[in-house]
Structure 1
Amino acid sequence: MSDINTATKLADMQIPESWAAYTAQRSVEQDQFFQSGVIRAVPNIASQLAGGGFLVNMPYFKPLADDAPQIPDDNKDIELHTIQTAVSQAREYGMDQGWSATDLAAELAGADPMTAISNSISDYWRHINEKILLKTLDGVYGSSTMSNINQFNATDGRRNDHTFSLQNFNAARFQLGDRYRDLAVIAVHSDILQQLQNANIVDQKTGNTILVNGNQLPTQIQAPNPGDTIKGVQIVVDDSLPVKDGVYTSYLFATGAFGWSELPADHAVETGRDGLRFHGVDYLINRRRFILAPAGMSWNESAYQMDKATAHTTAAFPTLDDLGNAKYWNRVADPKLIPFVKFTTTADSIQSTTTPASNTPSSSAPASSSSSSAAPAGK
């Protein structure tokens, strides 16, 4: 009979102290918002919380005022102006999670539990990262300080075209005016990606391949796939983007639209075992402390603490629903310096139109033309 006291248990396994950092880093490497540059690491944020507290002050310079230039006059001195500064605040987030596995489950699986746990936990935190970003955007765009700013809703009843068409895409991009080129990434639902691809293949009215003078109509995008670009804007596909009653929300981002910093956490990884429960169970606990802050926006800690005090609830760290609460976000930067745009459309078929070729060509008539509102321009 084997000696059960020598059995290897999860708590006995060699888990390096950097394991928590490893799983966090792995979740970042797999996250398309990090990889596309929407979220950018800002390591110096962590150092500001070394002495405790939940808030980080992030000072920034405002654009120079458009004061009238001074006309040379040797009877006057040149008046000196200054550059204005402001401060936005970012909130520390704290999230814990635990997992367990019974001896019997491990025996039946016949696999290394640590490998399975490591891979699963990094995927779990990647999904949480996405939820935090999207919940934050809910709160930001619900804020009164962002009313009618950096958002274009094609479904608001003021236009006939509700789709992700060239005209609507451009209307969304140009919410930043002459800074539209800052928007480098667009996140869309897979239904919207399918809509874009379908628009390149067939005439949505007839179901036929679009032909002009017997030739395939050169559409303006090349049936985009994730990683492709639309007018130089990289496509990211994520089905966790909001969908409600047939209305889809897409987001355009500049690189570095969100700043991220992973902070040290006490007992970031903890393991244990209960030999009686479930006839033997190992457990693992993961703790994370981090910041994910949208550029140009500031967390309203006073409103958050006031609500928690009124409700007599714990206020140490915000929940996901708290991040989506419009009262807790304030815009502190000029709209053009808010590096993201909300774009709302439907997944209805993008209508493509063609001008049919004349049956009796004339040398004096211009060549037949075609137009497509199907989708934005390609790579």
Structure 2
Amino acid sequence: MAVTRIADIIQPEVFTQYVIQKTMEVSNVLNSGIAENNALFDQLASGPSTLINMPYFEDLTGESETLKDQGSLTPGAIGTNKDVARKNGRGRAWGANGLSAYLSGADPLGSTANLVSGFWARDRQKVLLSTLAGVFASESLAGKVHDISEAEGDAALISGETFIDANQLMGDAKDSLTAVTFHSAVESYLAKRQLIEYVQEAGQNVRVPYFMNKRVIVDDGMPFDTTTKIGTAYLFGTGALAWGNGSHPDVLATETDRDSLASSGEDFLINRQLYILHPRGIKFT
């Protein structure tokens, strides 16, 4: 009797690309437009070292000059700076027993890849939230945190007014903010007060929530204390995060293995990922 093993149905190269593609599709971070993925970010994620320099041009500064009938204008230079991003290397292995129900289906490769991509989407969300917690705990960004946890009355509640106050921390750049992420309990609280608008967007099978004209990304990984009702929300602009999917010849993204000494035999699927998911304008230390 022929027996199908994981190695018989999974081609590592095909599986790896499929998982990466599906992870990007199911990730709320990428779907919302706050993360940008391109060939340069993929290349940087594939490069050497665990820290990556990401140069960028700063905004133009200086004053205009009065035009005169003699003399020349004084040329100015565009400033440059650089982010320093941390490369993430993560891995996970699964035994065949945990996948057996899916491996017996009509599309075992697709079923397995869908499960793995969902896992990585959730895992990257965890990495992102941990990164943001560190970013906004830094002294340099203390002025970009609107903390209402110790206020009283309505001033201590998330509402249209307190949300506008948080937006105002960006000054005249506040219009560049396009999305907000918070816990599902916060979404429910705002929905009960009819402050959430659900929009059926083109190409979407579900309605997308909006709060104060900002797209809402609901994630129960967001900090929220069910007892005190104190939580955290993050505001994002389009392309606020650099997302790069890396690779390296010495780090096999997909492998299969088998333990022949196990009583009934056991198959394994190993998946590894190298990537950057970096808030732009930040230097990792």
Distance of aligned partners of 1:71 and 1:238 in 2 relative to their CA distance in 1, 3 Å threshold: same
Aligned equivalent of 1:254: 237
Aligned to 1:164: 158
Q: Return the match for 2:28 from 10, 26, 32.
A: 32
Shift of the 21–14 alpha-carbon distance from structure 1 to 2, 3 Å rule, reads: closer
1:243 maps to which of 224, 230, 241: 224
Q: Structure 1 pair 191/63, CA: closer, same or farther in 2 (3 Å)?
A: same
- Equivalence for 1:209: none
- Identify if the C-alpha distance between structure 1 residues 117 and 48 changes in structure 2 by more than 3 Å, giving closer, same or farther: closer
Q: Please say if residues 167 and 174 of structure 2, whose CA atoms lie closer than 8 Å, have aligned partners that are also in contact.
A: yes
Q: In structure 2, the residue corresponding to 1:18 is in which secondary structure?
A: helix
- Residue of structure 1 equivalent to 2:204: none
Structure 1 14/136 Cα, relative in aligned 2: closer, same or farther at 3 Å? Answer: closer
Instruction: Choose the corresponding residue for 1:60, options 50, 56, 60.
Output: 56
5+ long unaligned stretches in structure 1: 201-220, 301-379
Runs of 4 or more consecutive aligned structure 1 residues displaced over 6 Å after TM superposition: none
Aligned to 1:346: none
Q: Distance in 2 between matches of 1:184 and 1:108?
A: 38
Give 1:264's aligned residue: 247
**CA–CA separation in structure 1 for the residues paired with 2:91 and 2:79:** 40
Report the RMSD for the aligned CA atoms in angstroms: 2.6
CA contact (8 A) 1:27 1:126 kept: yes
Which structure 2 residues correspond to residues 1-379 of structure 1 after superposition, within 5 A?
Answer: 2=1, 6-15=2-11, 17-48=13-44, 52-67=48-63, 69-73=64-68, 76-102=71-97, 106=100, 111=105, 114-148=109-143, 150-157=144-151, 160-200=154-194, 221=195, 224=198, 227-244=208-225, 245-265=228-248, 266-300=251-285
**8 Å Cα contact 2:196-2:210 kept in structure 1:** no
* 1:102–1:278 CA contact under 8 A, matched in 2: no
Larger radius of gyration: 1
Q: Which runs of 5+ in 2 are unaligned?
A: 200-206
Report sequence identity in percent. 27
> Could you tell me how far apart the structure 2 residues matched to 1:171 and 1:297 are?
23
Q: Distance in 1 between matches of 2:26 and 2:101?
A: 30
Q: TM-score, normalised by structure 2?
A: 0.85
Q: How far does the alpha carbon of each residue in 1:42-95 deviate from its partner, in whole angstroms, 9 at most, with x for none? A: 32133346663333222112222233x334455654322222111111222111
Distance across 2 between alignment mates of 1:88 and 1:110: 47
Q: In structure 2, how many angstroms separate the alpha carbons of the residues matched to 1:37 and 1:107?
A: 35
Number of aligned residue pairs = 273
